[in-house]
Copies of this chain bind each other. A is one copy, B any other.
Amino acid sequence: MLPEKITLVEVGPRDGFQNVKEQIPTEDKISIIKGMIQAGVRQMEITSFVNPKWLAQMADAAEVAAEIHKTAPEDFRAIALAPNKRGVENAVKAGLSNVTYVLSASESHNQKNVNRPIKESLEGLADIQESFPDTHIRVSLATSFGCPFEGDVPLKNVLQILTRLYGLGIREIILCDTIGIGNPLQVQQTVRAVREQFPDLTLGLHFHDTRGMGLSNIFAGLNEGVRIYETSIGGLGGCPFAPGSAGNTATEDMLNMVSSMGIRHNIDMDTYLRTVARVKEKVSAPLTGRLSSMCRQ
């Protein structure tokens, strides 16, 4: 039942860094990204093209993208997140051809996160696709397993939005558990329903670890044959404005679980863990991953 191999999409430099209050020097960001590439990571959200007024941490997006574009190996897939057309435009200008567009499965979170109704996010996506036909757009669907404002998010709402996205030609979608409230049974049911309705979709999963269920949810995904997982170095991420709230599922913990079950991931753990130690040294945020606590700084 379990897949033979998984694909990691590292999101630390985007979902992790964006939650760090203190500005991380651009050279440290680049050094951490390069460390992960050296470890074998071949898909990564390297930054986020958002208005720096909203998110000062990402003001160096173009600089980061340019350097990685210049130095990364050919088989490396650099991805940037963009919440709107302006962001996609800037990502394309910076040389990127893979963009994550984000919208939410719940209205109130979409409103808070990207400042408009879901309907307008979908219209915005259609417009982007028309304007940037050579850019590959993948979609992260936030709050797919629960919403901080609305609570439960019915599976039928998720499926409705997926139908719209599929209709727009989107074929790569990541279901995100933004607040780490999904459970393994829910993951099983959700993945089964999505797979049944959209068998040819490239489906990824992204679980925050707020309640410690990140790895359980990944195991549930693996049991359903899902191969693509977004995780973050050291577990960086979560909400910096909710004290004590844990962040993302840590990449190194995920890789360790996966390989202990005999599933391949093509990442060199020693090199990756050295990069975790670099994050500990350079980034002033607590790491919530378990293996990271064993890494020397």
Mask for A174-185, Cβ within 8 A of B = 1, else 0?
000000010111
Q: Are B246 and A290 in contact (CB under 8 A)?
A: yes
Give Cα A291 to B289, complex, Å: 15
Give Cα A147 to B16, complex, Å: 34
Q: Are A257 and B289 in contact (CB under 8 A)?
A: no
Q: Which residue on B lies nearest to A181, using beta carbons?
A: B260
| Contact A245/B183 with A213-B215, A219-B220 known, Cβ cut-off 8 Å | no
Q: How many copies, total? A: 2
- Tell yes or no: A10 within 8 A of B by CB: no
Interface segment, one of A100-108, A109-117, A204-212, A267-275? A204-212
- How many chain A residues have a CB neighbour from B under 8 Å? 32
For the A-B complex with A210-B290, A213-B253, A244-B294 known, give 19 more contacts whose Cβ atoms are closer than 8 Å.
A2-B185, A181-B260, A183-B260, A183-B261, A184-B257, A184-B261, A185-B261, A186-B261, A209-B212, A211-B257, A211-B290, A212-B290, A212-B291, A213-B215, A213-B257, A215-B215, A215-B216, A219-B220, A245-B294
